[in-house]
């Protein structure tokens, strides 16, 4: 963080120094909310959660070297006392971002692929200068300002993931760190329930490009009509990416290898270069193109972009992790989260990877889909039934619609040509993770492929980890 004396922090946050805090004592960062992350020079932000109250750890934080505590009530150590710690954190991040001498802020949003694209882009900008990006999906109202506060005087790029659960969220995040480049990936069905419709989702995602100034750049997906329509909502110049022939930054000659990894030619106005991704699934092409388009705008040479994208490994856990067991069973762990679109992408990757092999899938009911929940979950069942699986395990409660969809899809499949393998689909409802692991283990034979994919709350990564016996790679 940019070094700031406590007096200045109190001024920015409209707080009061307490606990014999020295106004001249300087915070150099990091700003943290977990007392175990404190190092000398830190500012510890005491947040009162449902289960834990950060104020109880104030003493421990200062003992570990925190200069002071940003607190919403006096504690018996040096503190800046404010009305609302999260609001104060937001103000501090806003002020620090505005004071960064040479940082370009790049925001990434969309229904699916944000974390992947953010990780790819951070890798590209690191070739141009010091880059700060959040770890994983640390992008909520607390994670976002904490990430911004990691920026220092020499930071050249802040690559941020912006997600929304309702209108106004992204606009709020863009006020903390106003973006110069805004990347919108897609408008899908994630959080459909809380939004109430795809138009509302597009409305919320579009707040990112609305926040851009005229000298900014909106990087938009030419292949997604609802993203393309956002061109009308921004004052900034638009750079298109995608498979479409009119996209400025595009992929040509896309092919998938036997593991479902894409190769293609990256074409830009300043040249072309071959890319061979290590990320699994065809949907990774769009994410790579989005990162490439933003990096192209920043002036990174196309050959460097292609080189870096070809070297990138998945950075954040449980997203399309493909692991071979010693006995030749391949497990695709995509259990980080799921929505109807990423479910389709995951089955697409399974299809590409499992050519000629027996395939299995473990899924759980998708959540937060509102009124359309039953219909969309039935769709997941139908999708799974059309994938030529030996067996589909549906884990946990609310499995009804998926089971029904799979049953209907199976009947339709038998009418219109049996799936590869010929044996027909076995659909199993497993009450919990353990039951799924036991049932599946009994069926697996060398050479099989298993897709594990479900919403975060279902915790299906435990299925993948059990199948892999704790041996991850
Ligand atoms: N462009 C995409 N289109 C559809 N699904 C995608 C896309 N990118 C990623 N996914 C799927 O979404 C999951 C989450 O990816 P992630 O990069 O963490 O996205 P987010 O941060 O938006 O949740 C991945 O495991 C993958 O299955
Ligand atoms: Mg994410």
For 267-326, write each residue's pLDDT tens digit.
999 999 999 999 988 999 999 999 999 999 999 999 999 999 999 987 667 888 899 999
Distance 442 CA to ligand 2 centre (A): 34
Contacts of 317 (CB under 8 A, 6+ apart): 136, 336, 461
109 lines ligand 1 (CB under 6 A): no
Supply φ then ψ for residue 6, to 5 degrees.
-60, -35
Residue 210's CB is within 10 A of a number of other CB atoms, namely: 17
Tell me the average pLDDT across 25-38: 95
Residue 42 lies in domain: 4-86
| Lookup: tokens for 259 | 């593991």
Return the pLDDT at 419. 45
Counting ligand 1 atoms within 8 A of each CB, the residue from 108, 111, 113 with the most, and so the one to mutate, is 113
Q: What's the domain count of the chain?
A: 3
The answer to whether position 196 is within a domain reads yes
Instruction: From 255, 277, 311, give the residue that closes a domain.
Output: 311
Closest ligand to the CA of 111: 1
Looking at residue 152, what DSSP letter applies? -
Share of the chain above pLDDT 90, in %: 82
288 lines ligand 1 (CB under 6 A): no
- Of 57-71, 158-172, 208-222, 405-419, which range is least confident? 405-419
Annotate 435-470 with b (16+ C-beta within 10 A) or e (fewer): ebbebbeeebeeebbbbbbbbeebebbbbbbbbbee
Which residue, chain included where needed, has tokens 């409305």?
A: 203
The answer to whether position 145 is within a domain reads yes
CA 350 vs CA 108, 280, 454: distances in Å: 27, 9, 14
The answer to whether position 343 is within a domain reads yes
Give the pLDDT confidence of 89-137 residue by residue, as tens digits: 999 999 999 999 899 999 999 999 999 999 999 999 999 999 999 987 7
Q: Please tell me whether residues 263 and 395 are part of one structural domain.
A: no
pLDDT at 259 over 90: no
Cβ distance 383 to 346 under 8 Å?
A: no
- Nearest protein CA to atom 7 of ligand 1, as residue: 113
Q: Please tell me whether residues 174 and 234 are part of one structural domain.
A: yes
Cβ distance 142 to 47 under 8 Å?
A: yes
Q: What is the CATH number of the domain that holds 59?
A: 3.40.1390.10
Please tell me which residue, 303 or 49, carries the higher pLDDT value.
303
The answer to whether position 33 is within a domain reads yes
- Nearest protein CA to atom 16 of ligand 1, as residue: 113
Share of the chain above pLDDT 70, in %: 95
Q: Please tell me whether residues 283 and 326 are part of one structural domain.
A: no
Return the pLDDT at 423. 54
| Lookup: tokens for 424 | 């027909």
Instruction: From 86, 109, 135, give the residue that closes a domain.
Output: 86
Q: Please tell me whether residues 260 and 140 are part of one structural domain.
A: yes
pTM assigned to the model: 0.84
Q: Please tell me whether residues 296 and 383 are part of one structural domain.
A: no
Q: State the closest ligand 1 atom to the C-alpha of 137, by its place in the atom list counted from 1.
A: 21
- Of 74-83, 403-412, 439-448, which range is least confident? 403-412
Return the pLDDT at 136. 73
Q: Please tell me whether residues 121 and 259 are part of one structural domain.
A: yes
Q: What is the CATH number of the domain that holds 287?
A: 3.40.1190.10
**Cis check: omega of the bond before 30, within 30 degrees of 0:** yes
Mean pLDDT score of the chain? 92
Return the pLDDT at 320. 85
Return the pLDDT at 415. 39
The answer to whether position 91 is within a domain reads no
Q: Please tell me whether residues 64 and 105 are part of one structural domain.
A: no
| Chain mean position to CA 164 | 12
The answer to whether position 279 is within a domain reads yes
Q: What is the CATH number of the domain that holds 460?
A: 3.90.190.20
Q: Please tell me whether residues 357 and 214 are part of one structural domain.
A: no
The answer to whether position 216 is within a domain reads yes
Distance 96 CA to ligand 2 centre (A): 24
Q: Please tell me whether residues 351 and 239 are part of one structural domain.
A: no
Counting ligand 1 atoms within 8 A of each CB, the residue from 345, 346, 451, 453 with the most, and so the one to mutate, is 345
Task: Please report which confidence band the pLDDT of residue 26 belongs to, taking 50, 70 and 90 as the band edges.
Answer: very high
For CA atoms 375, 377, 381, 383, the dihedral sign is: positive
- Nearest protein CA to atom 23 of ligand 1, as residue: 112
- DSSP alpha helix (H) spans, 314-432: 340-353, 373-385, 400-415
Q: Which residues pair with 391 in a beta bridge?
A: 360, 426
Q: Please tell me whether residues 287 and 361 are part of one structural domain.
A: no
Return the pLDDT at 435. 96
Distance 173 CA to ligand 2 centre (A): 15
Three-class SS of 79-110: EEECCCHHHHHHHHHHHHHHHCCCCEEEEEEC
Q: Please tell me whether residues 423 and 453 are part of one structural domain.
A: yes
Tell me the average pLDDT across 64-79: 97
Task: Please report which confidence band the pLDDT of residue 228 belongs to, taking 50, 70 and 90 as the band edges.
Answer: very high
Q: Please tell me whether residues 192 and 154 are part of one structural domain.
A: yes
Give the pLDDT confidence of 172-221 residue by residue, as tens digits: 999 999 999 999 999 987 777 777 788 889 999 999 999 999 999 999 99
Instruction: From 86, 121, 155, give the residue that closes a domain.
Output: 86
Q: State the closest ligand 1 atom to the C-alpha of 185, by its place in the atom list counted from 1.
A: 1
Give the pLDDT confidence of 410-439 residue by residue, as tens digits: 654 443 344 444 458 999 999 999 999 999
134 lines ligand 1 (CB under 6 A): no
The answer to whether position 92 is within a domain reads no
453 lines ligand 1 (CB under 6 A): no
Give the pLDDT confidence of 382-408 residue by residue, as tens digits: 999 999 999 999 999 999 999 999 987
Indicate the length of the chain as a whole number.
473
């Amino acid at each position: 963080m940019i070094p700031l004396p406590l007096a200045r922090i109190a001024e920015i946050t409209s707080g009061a120094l307490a606990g014999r805090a020295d106004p001249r004592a300087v915070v150099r960062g990091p700003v943290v909310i977990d007392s175990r992350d404190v190092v000398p020079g830190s500012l510890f932000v005491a947040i009162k959660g449902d289960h834990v109250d950060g104020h109880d750890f104030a003493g421990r934080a200062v003992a570990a070297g925190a200069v002071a505590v940003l607190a919403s009530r006096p504690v018996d150590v040096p503190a800046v006392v404010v009305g609302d710690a999260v609001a104060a954190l937001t103000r501090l991040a806003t002020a620090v971002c505005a004071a960064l001498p040479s940082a370009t802020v790049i925001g990434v949003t969309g229904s699916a692929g944000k974390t992947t694209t953010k990780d790819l882009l951070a890798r590209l900008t690191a070739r141009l200068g010091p880059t700060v990006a959040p770890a994983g999906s640390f992008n909520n109202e607390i994670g976002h300002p904490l990430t911004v506060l990691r920026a220092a005087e020499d930071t050249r790029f802040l690559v941020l993931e912006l997600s929304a659960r309702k209108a106004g969220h992204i606009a709020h995040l863009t006020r903390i760190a106003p973006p110069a480049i805004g990347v919108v990936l897609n408008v899908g069905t994630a959080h459909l329930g809380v939004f109430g419709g795809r138009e509302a989702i597009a409305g919320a995602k579009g707040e990112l490009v609305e926040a851009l100034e005229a000298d900014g750049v909106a990087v938009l997906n030419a292949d997604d009509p609802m993203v393309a329509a956002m061109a009308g909502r921004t004052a900034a110049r638009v750079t298109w990416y995608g498979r479409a022939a009119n996209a400025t930054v595009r992929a040509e000659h896309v092919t998938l290898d036997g593991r479902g990894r894409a190769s293609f030619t990256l074409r830009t106005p300043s040249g072309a270069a071959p890319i061979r991704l290590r990320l699994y699934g065809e949907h990774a092409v769009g994410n790579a193109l989005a990162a490439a388009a933003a990096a192209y705008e920043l002036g990174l040479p196309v050959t460097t972009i292609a080189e870096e994208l070809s070297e990138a490994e998945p950075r954040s856990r449980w997203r399309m992790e493909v692991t071979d067991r010693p006995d030749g069973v391949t497990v695709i762990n995509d259990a980080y989260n799921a929505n109807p679109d990423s479910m389709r992408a995951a089955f697409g990757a399974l299809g590409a990877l499992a050519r000629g092999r027996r395939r299995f899938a473990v899924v759980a009911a998708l959540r937060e889909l509102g009124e359309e929940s039953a219909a969309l979950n039935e769709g997941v069942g139908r999708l799974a039934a059309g994938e030529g699986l030996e067996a589909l395990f549906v884990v946990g409660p609310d499995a009804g619609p998926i089971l029904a969809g799979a049953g209907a899809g199976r009947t339709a499949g038998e009418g219109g040509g049996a799936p590869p393998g010929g044996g027909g689909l076995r659909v199993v409802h497993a009450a919990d993770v353990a039951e799924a692991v036991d049932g599946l283990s009994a069926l697996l034979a060398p050479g099989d492929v298993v897709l594990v994919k479900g919403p975060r709350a279902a915790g299906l990564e435990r299925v993948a980890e059990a199948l892999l016996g704790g041996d991850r790679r």
